[in-house]
């Protein structure tokens, strides 16, 4: 399972010692300057990048009303805003129907097949699949809109 890159974390984000949980704080964490650091939005990249193979991980969204879960560089995202969900890429947002409360999301990346798919982790029901010919390494990324989020250790 991916882990967070502290060099990219916005100054209002605190990363847990195991690098799997991110929480919004009221006070700046005063992270040192770094070229990867997010300055405007409370986001964080993961250390791992993927340019081949099949990868699956799960994220506990917590109880927050807003969050973003996606892949950097090419920037595909699953967004939660209140009870509404959508998938966004290149400025285009597609609504995603989620009937029951969703707390845990599974993410499947199959790089060679050009597949990025989001699932309900509790039932493995597909929420949305994206098909694209990836050309750059992909970095998991999270945007936090309050409270905390955790990447589940599946090892």
Q: pLDDT per residue over 46-90, tens digit each?
A: 999 999 999 999 999 877 667 787 765 457 888 888 888 898 887
For residues 96 and 86, the answer to whether their CB atoms sit within 8 Å is yes
- By CB neighbour count within 10 A (0-12 exposed, 13-18 middle, 19+ buried), where does 100 fall? exposed
In CATH terms, the fold of domain 46-152 is Jelly Rolls (2.60.120)
Q: Note the pLDDT of residue 147.
A: 78
d(CA 86, CA 93): 6
Mean pLDDT of 13-40: 91
Q: How far apart are CA 138 and CA 75, in angstroms?
A: 9
Domain boundaries, the chain: 46-152
Which among 117, 135, 114, 134 is positioned nearest to 126, based on CA atoms? 117
The Cα 9–Cα 109 span in angstroms is 23
The residue with tokens 């990346």 is: 109
Q: Is the pTM of this model over 0.85?
A: yes
SS3 63: coil
């Amino acid at each position: 399972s991916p882990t967070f890159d502290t060099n990219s974390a916005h100054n209002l984000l605190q990363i847990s010692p195991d690098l799997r949980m991110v929480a919004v704080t009221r006070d700046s964490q005063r992270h040192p300057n770094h070229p990867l650091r997010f300055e405007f939005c409370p986001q964080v990249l993961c250390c791992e990048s993927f340019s081949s193979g099949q990868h699956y991980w799960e994220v506990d969204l917590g109880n927050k009303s807003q969050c973003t879960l996606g892949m950097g560089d090419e920037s595909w995202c699953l967004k939660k805003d209140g009870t509404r969900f959508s998938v966004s890429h290149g400025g285009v947002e597609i609504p995603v129907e989620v009937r029951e409360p969703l707390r845990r999301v599974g993410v499947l990346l199959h790089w060679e097949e050009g597949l990025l798919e989001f699932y309900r982790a509790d039932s493995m029901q597909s929420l949305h699949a994206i098909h694209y010919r990836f050309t750059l390494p992909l970095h998991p990324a999270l945007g936090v809109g309050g409270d905390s989020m955790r990447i589940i250790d599946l090892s």
